[in-house]
A and B are shown apart, each in its own frame.
Chain A
Amino acid sequence: MTPVIGVCVKWIGSQPNSGHEADARFAQFSASDQAALETALQRAEQLSGRVRVVSVAPAAARTHLVALCASGAHELVHIAAEGQSSSAHVAHELAQHLQECASVWCGDYSLDRGSGSVPAFLASTLGAQQALGIVGITSSEVSNTLDLLRRLDAGRREIVRVVEPFVVSVEGSLATLRRASLASTLRPTATLVDASLVSQSAPSFGEFSPFRPRPRTIAAPVGETALDRIKSATSANSPQKHSEIVTLAPEAAAQFIVERLTEWGYLS
């Protein structure tokens, strides 16, 4: 069976806050969306698979989607929608056309400065593994597994191993989309599927709000002088406790983390 590689792209009709009305002439796909397509094309070449581009976009996006697919995609699923939808809703709609995909590739950044959360919702909806903000890919010895490089704070990197099915969002620097040939530009070959929204809103994922550490009541600092009290409040004279390395089984490690976060006041 030919594997299907999914790609999700977001069409942006105009730059946000530009003061200009949406104008299809200036529409673009982000560099990371283009990198996602290129990476998917390369993956499809390795696996002799097919690339399916799926997008929730207005009718004005059609010519741009077709032009994008001229780079080598085999199928284009255009889910017609004129208004704005939540990330959860968009992911739900995209997922309807990505069920059988071995992997799904998305950009980590859209030109309208969206939340970047669609890939995560998509992975949740598809029950797939996820890796977000990828800057490098290493093939594994197993064909359905990839080692993906992610950025961490302070210049650190981590390698995430994902096994199909997975959803990945990539940074724009990962790859440059190949130029479409003149023949495929003049005569697009991607199979075009017109789709419509299956629902008008997203299934509920529960209530979300930004994480804020709870306020804690702490005892007033003790000391005769103001300086002493400041030292006490800031633990300036206390022996510093540097990072602690513990080696535990995953379940015990998770429990350890929860206990510490509770102790520090981040969890109630």
Chain B
Amino acid sequence: MPDFDVIVVGAGPAGSCAALTIARTGKSVVLIERGPFPGSKNMYGGVVYPRILDALIPEWWNEMPVQRWVTRRSTMLLTDTQSLSIDFRSDAWGDAPYNGATAFRPDFDNWLANKAVEAGATLVCSTTVTGLITGANGEVIGVHTDRPDGDLTASVVIACDGVNSFLAKERGMYPHTDAAHFTLGVKETITLSKDIIDERFAVRGNHGVDIEILGGTSGVNGGGFIYTNLNSISVGVVLKLPKLAAQSKRPEEIIAGLKSHSAIAPLVEGGTVSEYSAHLIPEAGLKMMPKLLDDGLLIAGDAAAMCLAAGIWLEGVNFAMASGMYAAQAACEAIEKENTSAKGLSLYKKLLEDTFVLRDHRKLRRAPQLVLSDRVQHMYPALITGVVQGMFQVNNPVPKPGLRKILKNERRRLGIRTTDLAKDAITGFRSFG
């Protein structure tokens, strides 16, 4: 007789949603977290899109710990001396049922884990899972932890142990691990008064802004971001690992460079850095996704590379929560049918395939590579800002040039071949179209 029906490893969004789903069926579930409390070890940029929570916590917006509801989304292209912003605002996103919010992970993750505990899950913190216990036929039947007498058994283990999942790797479910599949997210939380944030970012009340930036990363492929919290802003960069290593630049220097850009400096001026953090992000989407299930074992969240990094869409927490929830549903069904083999757990794959989790990843499978390519990173921001500058610059008595001429001149100046431009346009259209 196992100690629990299900062991969930990691009390992040995936793990807590899995534990909450299982606990509500009356099955016994233990949620094991290595930090002293859920969220203490976690980090993201951070906007969370909690629509998937509708299925788990009706009217979650009334209790979720939110910093600001994102009502402005801005995409910014940066060169060394230019910037171009496309800004969108929707008042509807500032009212229920909302769209996305900035939140602090120690608050958000703790809240979600407590939901699981309220539903009957057992939460054990300050405990690290160190390995899997396998049965006579090689199936997973439990976990080892770093506590004395720390073995636990269960019918199913759901590994939500984050990026670099040691459990999935131990099981050989990550056959294609490659540094190029990961980016390094680095973030400074800068304290500013609410009034200053409201004024600089043109928002009021608990409305906030999400600015995604292409360029401004000191030549390292990646991107930048600025998010508004209530009394602070998050400024950071996401950097492709091989490029970062090749250029031997330090991430904090790259953030400093971003903050000193003429388009960014006025936004961060006078602020005090109150936190600096960094985390790996699984950004290669489908290309890096591990085998998602095995006998007695399911992989969810960042551990399963459930992170969508597709330029204009940068989402992770919603994919984590959904994959955790679906893993839990599959585990419950398998336990009820008394078949926790990979075949018995196959509902997980089906649920992922039938919903946005794998559909979005499949549709946008080419996007991460395109967005992080050298042309998109270094040439197109210069091309687009150059064209816009050509449009708006007044060179009287020279008459205004036509748009086609400006584009042609800029393309030639930057050495962009028409074939490459066309190829990328097609890839972009197939991804985002």
**Are A181 and B148 in contact, CB atoms less than 8 angstroms apart?**
yes
CB neighbors of B among A175-198 (8 A): 178-183, 185-186
**Are B124 and A186 in contact, CB atoms less than 8 angstroms apart?**
yes
CB neighbors of B among A209-262 (8 A): none
A179-B37 contact, Cβ under 8 Å, with A185-B124, A186-B122 = no
**Are B122 and A181 in contact, CB atoms less than 8 angstroms apart?**
no
| Residues of A close to B147: CB separation below 8 A | 179-182, 185
Complex CA gap A183/B149 in Å reads 7
Asked whether B152 is an interface residue with its Cβ less than 8 Å from the other chain, the reply is yes
**Are B37 and A182 in contact, CB atoms less than 8 angstroms apart?**
no
Instruction: For A28, give the chain B residue with the smallest CB separation.
Output: B36
Asked whether A113 is an interface residue with its Cβ less than 8 Å from the other chain, the reply is no
Asked whether A156 is an interface residue with its Cβ less than 8 Å from the other chain, the reply is no
**Are B127 and A25 in contact, CB atoms less than 8 angstroms apart?**
no
| Residues of A close to B149: CB separation below 8 A | 181-183
| Residues of B close to A181: CB separation below 8 A | 147-150
User: Which of A25, A178, A179, A181 neighbours the largest number of chain B CB atoms within 10 Å of its CB?
Assistant: A25
Complex CA gap A25/B110 in Å reads 9
A25-B148 contact, Cβ under 8 Å, with A182-B127, A185-B127 = no
Residue-by-residue, is B143-164 near A (CB-CB < 8 Å gives 1, otherwise 0)? 0010111111000000000000
Complex CA gap A182/B36 in Å reads 15
**Are A186 and B30 in contact, CB atoms less than 8 angstroms apart?**
yes
Q: Which of A25, A185, A186 contacts B40 (CB 8 A)?
A: A25
Give chain B nearest CB distance to A77 CB in angstroms: 24
Asked whether B219 is an interface residue with its Cβ less than 8 Å from the other chain, the reply is no
Interface size on B, residues (CB 8 A): 16
Complex CA gap A179/B36 in Å reads 14
Instruction: For A180, give the chain B residue with the smallest CB separation.
Output: B147
**Are B36 and A25 in contact, CB atoms less than 8 angstroms apart?**
yes
A interface secondary structure, majority: helix
CB neighbors of B among A138-189 (8 A): 178-183, 185-186
Interface size on A, residues (CB 8 A): 9
Complex CA gap A186/B148 in Å reads 12
Q: Which of B106, B122, B148 contacts A179 (CB 8 A)?
A: B148
**Are B106 and A25 in contact, CB atoms less than 8 angstroms apart?**
yes
| Residues of B close to A185: CB separation below 8 A | 124, 127, 147
| Residues of A close to B145: CB separation below 8 A | 182
Give chain A nearest CB distance to B128 CB in angstroms: 11
| Residues of A close to B122: CB separation below 8 A | 186
Give chain A nearest CB distance to B28 CB in angstroms: 11
Complex CA gap A179/B152 in Å reads 17
Residue-by-residue, is B30-42 near A (CB-CB < 8 Å gives 1, otherwise 0)? 1000001100100
Instruction: For A183, give the chain B residue with the smallest CB separation.
Output: B149
Complex CA gap A25/B35 in Å reads 11
Complex CA gap A178/B151 in Å reads 18
Instruction: For B124, give the chain A residue with the smallest CB separation.
Output: A185
Complex CA gap A186/B153 in Å reads 13
**Are A182 and B106 in contact, CB atoms less than 8 angstroms apart?**
no
| Residues of B close to A179: CB separation below 8 A | 147-148
Instruction: For B37, give the chain A residue with the smallest CB separation.
Output: A25
User: Which of A182, A183, A185 neighbours the largest number of chain B CB atoms within 10 Å of its CB?
Assistant: A182
| Residues of B close to A25: CB separation below 8 A | 36-37, 40, 106, 110
A182-B40 contact, Cβ under 8 Å, with A25-B106, A25-B110 = no
Give chain A nearest CB distance to B212 CB in angstroms: 30
**Are B110 and A182 in contact, CB atoms less than 8 angstroms apart?**
no
Complex CA gap A120/B392 in Å reads 79
Known: A25-B110, A182-B148. 4 other contacts (CB 8 A): A25-B36, A179-B147, A181-B148, A186-B30
Closest 5 CB pairs of A and B: A182-B147, A181-B148, A182-B150, A181-B149, A25-B37
16 contacts between A and B (CB under 8 A): A25-B36, A25-B37, A25-B40, A25-B106, A178-B148, A179-B147, A179-B148, A180-B147, A181-B147, A182-B127, A182-B147, A182-B148, A182-B150, A182-B152, A185-B147, A186-B122
